[in-house]
Amino acid sequence: METGSPDDTGTAGATEAAREEPVWTGLPPGLLRMRRLLLVVWLGLLTVAAGLLPGLFLGPAWAFLALLPSALAVWGWVMLERNWRSWRYAERADDLLISRGVLWREETVVPYGRMQLVEVTSGPVERHFGLASVQLHTAAAATDATIPGLDPAEAERLRDRLTELGEARSAGL
């Protein structure tokens, strides 16, 4: 038995396992900022309405109803960050992984060869925040997937790469 020689089977197995582990990419913070702004705007309006209208028509004691939407806004502020942190995606050799969810984790695997259409969309609010979403369509409606809140350049890069890989994989079918 030689001393000092590495165990080839142990290191090769560890290297191979590390190579197959996906490299996850999270969503940019602009999505969290956009969602928090929408939360504050809508629940701010609801807070004013819940405090002002009952206070005017039923008496000042009813203005405490404004506390409910305010408490909901604080809870939503924290939950939005937890949800934002849960979203991530990984490009692998044969498929795209999308993972999301806080209480119920959901991981979607979309094989490149099954992709039929890759869209980049951006509504007016998303454009204001410099964001875009990538929508993946497959033959099976259950595996359609979306990656929200990406930088537009990253969304276009991802669309081009997924389209290229999809065409290359589907050519062999």
Per-residue model confidence (pLDDT) at position 113: 85
* Average pLDDT by stretches of 10, the chain with 173 residues: 48 52 92 96 87 75 78 94 96 92 92 89 95 89 83 95 84 52
> Which is nearest to 92 in space by CA: 22, 28, 25, 164?
22
The CA-CA-CA angle for residues 131, 43, 122, to 5°, reads 15
pLDDT score at 15:
47
Burial group, residue 155, by CB count within 10 angstroms (0-12, 13-18, 19+) = buried
Summarize the chain as % helix, strand, coil (round to 5): 55, 20, 20
